[in-house]
Structure 1
Amino acid sequence: MILVTGGARSGKSAHTERLAAQHCDHVLYIATSLVTDDEMALRVAKHQAQRPEHWRTWEGFRDVGDVIRHHLQPGEGVMLECVTTMLSNLLYEESGGADPETLDFPALEAFLYRQIDDLIAACQQSSAPIFIVTNELGMSITPSNRLARHFVDISGRVNQKLAQAAEEVWWVVSGIGVKIKCR
């Protein structure tokens, strides 16, 4: 598993696509975004246009470990774009969109960890090269609202778990990727 992290709009996706293309002719692209408005539709279209046409796409954010276990074709690699969006969608779905003041964050975090632990296990069981994109959220001020604070904390801990399990970790800044871990 190769993890690529960095800030928003840092060039993570393009860097990860280059890494995946260097290692694999065919890739299963796991897209975790939901198209909720026109602006998001444009973002998704841009991502689709920049990756090779022969890459397959699976859209979803739940039970991604099962996708890796059961949807790969022989000789195919995986690119997961992105963990942060996956966590956001899972958090919203699992909480039912309830008022953040009423949420049981320890229970929600435990649910998210089960999803991430299963993803890590699937990556470790697979012989396919797997490239995972995530956002580094912890380099700014502490958010002013409860939901955002918990999300930043959860994302940071998830990223630590992923980085610990990864064979390589890349940090992307201003479009430049720097390998920060190589096992």
Structure 2
Amino acid sequence: MKGKITLVTGGARSGKSNYAEKLAKTSVQPVAYLATAIPFDEGMKDRIKKHKASRPSEWTTYEGYKDLYKIVKEIAKEHGTILLDCITIMVTNLMFEHEADWDKISYEAIDKIEEEITNQIMKLIESVRKNNIWCIMVTNEVGMGIVPDNRLSRIYRDIVGRINQIIAKEADEVYFTVSGLPMKLK
């Protein structure tokens, strides 16, 4: 049997994480929570605190955003389910590893950064399949609003949009949340 991937997407405050947690709570296997956020300001620290409080105490939390395929291999030794929250923050962290002038960066450099991120995602997917675990991935749908007025935001929106498409294509199930209501797309 191969691992299972469930993708939960939606807009900001749409109920993505809550729904992903509900799914993970149905698992008969031990659950690991894989957090990709870096607490860089008070707002993010508050969000992390609230997320921690909403999770069952028996879940083990792991943190990281790079080379998650290696973390998945380790987690799989003791856990059958991983809740990864979230892909968009992972992409942000991977993008900002590059000290770039985002207003002047070349398209070739952008393509290289996106290729690195895509490789990280593909290795993550392969690791989930190889280690035969259920991975629930949370991501943001960032492309439903107006075209951003700055280059960095447009680059980010485009990369996240393509990464979400890759994961959705590979996923066994995809849910879209709106106002706390999940809709099954796949």
Taking structure 1 as the reference length, what is the TM-score of the superposition? 0.94
| Correspondent of 1:157 among 148, 158, 162 | 162
* Structure 2 equivalent of residue 6 of structure 1: 10
Q: Give the superposition deviation at 1:89.
A: 0.5
Deviation track 1:84-127 (CA, whole Å, cap 9, x = no partner) reads 0000001001x12x321343211111111111111111122121
For residues 34 and 82 of structure 1, the distance between their equivalents in structure 2, rounded to whole angstroms, comes to: 11
Structure 1 counterpart of 2:30, which letter? H
Deviation track 1:111-160 (CA, whole Å, cap 9, x = no partner) reads 11111111111122121111000000010001111111011011111000
The runs of at least 4 consecutive aligned structure 1 residues that moved more than 6 Å come to: none
| Correspondent of 1:48 among 47, 52, 66 | 52
Bigger mean CA deviation after superposition, 64-73 or 36-45 = 64-73
Deviation track 1:14-65 (CA, whole Å, cap 9, x = no partner) reads 0000001112452111000000111211110000000000100111100111
Q: Equivalent residues in 2 for 1:21-170 (5 A)? A: 21-93=25-97, 95-96=98-99, 98-103=100-105, 104-170=109-175
Q: CA RMSD in A?
A: 1.2
* Percent identity of paired positions between Structure 1 and Structure 2: 40
The aligned length equals 179
For residues 52 and 164 of structure 1, the distance between their equivalents in structure 2, rounded to whole angstroms, comes to: 30
For residues 75 and 55 of structure 1, the distance between their equivalents in structure 2, rounded to whole angstroms, comes to: 9
1:175 matched to 2:180? The reply is yes
For residues 35 and 101 of structure 1, the distance between their equivalents in structure 2, rounded to whole angstroms, comes to: 25
For residues 61 and 90 of structure 2, the distance between their equivalents in structure 1, rounded to whole angstroms, comes to: 15
Name structure 1 gaps, 5 residues minimum. none
Name structure 2 gaps, 5 residues minimum. none
Q: Secondary structure at the match of 2:103?
A: helix
